[in-house]
A and B are shown apart, each in its own frame.
Chain A
Amino acid sequence: MELQVDVQVRGAATWWEVAAAEWRPAHLAAWAAGYLRCEWVTASHSGDFRLVSHLTGPPGVLVVATALDGDSADSVAGIFPSADFHEREVRQMFGIRFAGAADARPAFDVDFGGHPLRRDFPLTPRQAQPWPGSHEPEGKAGRRAVLPPGVNPEWSR
């Protein structure tokens, strides 16, 4: 079964862009090609989730990347045991579930009350704390309504 991969060379690393369904088969193929160690698995969220893993081995550095449709993906911890902790961290930070993951514990013993690295996770200290730029130097509120940098107006709705 042929793997559909969009291969690019970026600096010292080879990048494989694959479809979400090929996430696990791509890792099997990477292992077979000699990339024997998983250094990192992480995700990013801007609208849709992207999943990225960094693999190394005698051939060099390989990055496997995919765009997820929803918030679930296949676990590759069966192929690369070191991916297990990274998948636990991604699950806790982004809420992406990994099918077939053996360990369902969160990575960190902290209750964030949500998935902190998602785009829509509100930064509660910024909602709670008064912004020093909201008032004029004399102390009274200014006529302009300026939002502080890094605060999304939807958070206060």
Chain B
Amino acid sequence: MRHASIALHSASCTSCMLCVRECPDWCITVSAHTQDDPSAPAYSNARRPSQTKVLDAFTIDFGHCMWCGICLEVCPFDALFWSESALPEPTERDALVLDRDGLESLLPGARRSDGSAAPQLGDPPSGRRKRQ
């Protein structure tokens, strides 16, 4: 398949920061906040509520990206995919830094390594992430 861009399925992302740390060009930024997890089962003997990370911002700077694919390979939750969807045509340098909405808009052309379609917006996480 043609690796035209990298798409993000944010429901699968747990803000573990592995892609941020492993990117050789420092293209990725991630910010998230922790909050009580509403979908966690309620245990009567739990001392505090179960918490989960909620992704606030995720950016990839395609002006620096080398298309090496290390971020895809290192993601433990299969949140990043190669996509055949073209990057939006930039009119200035900053337009090459795609935010979360921009990365999700590349999902329609995204494929897994076996060629099947990647999860789309609204699909539940299909990687190893247990809860949304």
Contacts and interface: CB of A to CB of B under 8 A. Distances in A.
Contact of A133 (B17, B31, B34): B17
B10 to A, nearest CB: 13
A132 B28 CA distance: 7
Interface in A99-151: 126, 129, 131-133, 136-139, 146, 148-150
Interface residues of B, number: 16
B67 interface: no
Most buried by B among A131, A133, A139, A146: A133
A137 B21 contact: no
Question: Max chain A CB contacts within 10 Å: which of B22, B26, B53?
Answer: B26
A136 B17 contact: yes
Contact of B32 (A129, A138, A149): A138
B6 interface: no
A138 B26 contact: no
Contacts of B21: 133, 146, 148-149
A149 B68 CA distance: 14
B29 interface: yes
A129 B25 CA distance: 11
Nearest to B70: A149
B20 A138 contact: no
Dominant secondary structure of chain A at its interface with chain B:
loop
A16 to B, nearest CB: 34
A137 B24 contact: no
Given A132-B29, A138-B34, A149 B24 contact: yes
A86 to B, nearest CB: 26
Contacts of A132: 20, 26, 28-30
Contacts of A133: 17, 20-21, 23, 26
Contacts of B23: 133, 149
Q: Which of B17, B23, B33 has the most CB of A within 10 A?
A: B17
Given A132-B20, A138-B33, 7 more contacts: A129-B26, A133-B17, A137-B17, A137-B32, A148-B21, A148-B26, A149-B23
24 contacts: A129-B26, A131-B26, A132-B20, A132-B26, A132-B28, A132-B29, A133-B17, A133-B21, A133-B23, A136-B17, A137-B15, A137-B17, A137-B31, A137-B32, A137-B53, A138-B31, A138-B33, A138-B34, A146-B21, A148-B21, A149-B21, A149-B23, A149-B24, A150-B24
Interface of A: 126, 129, 131-133, 136-139, 146, 148-150
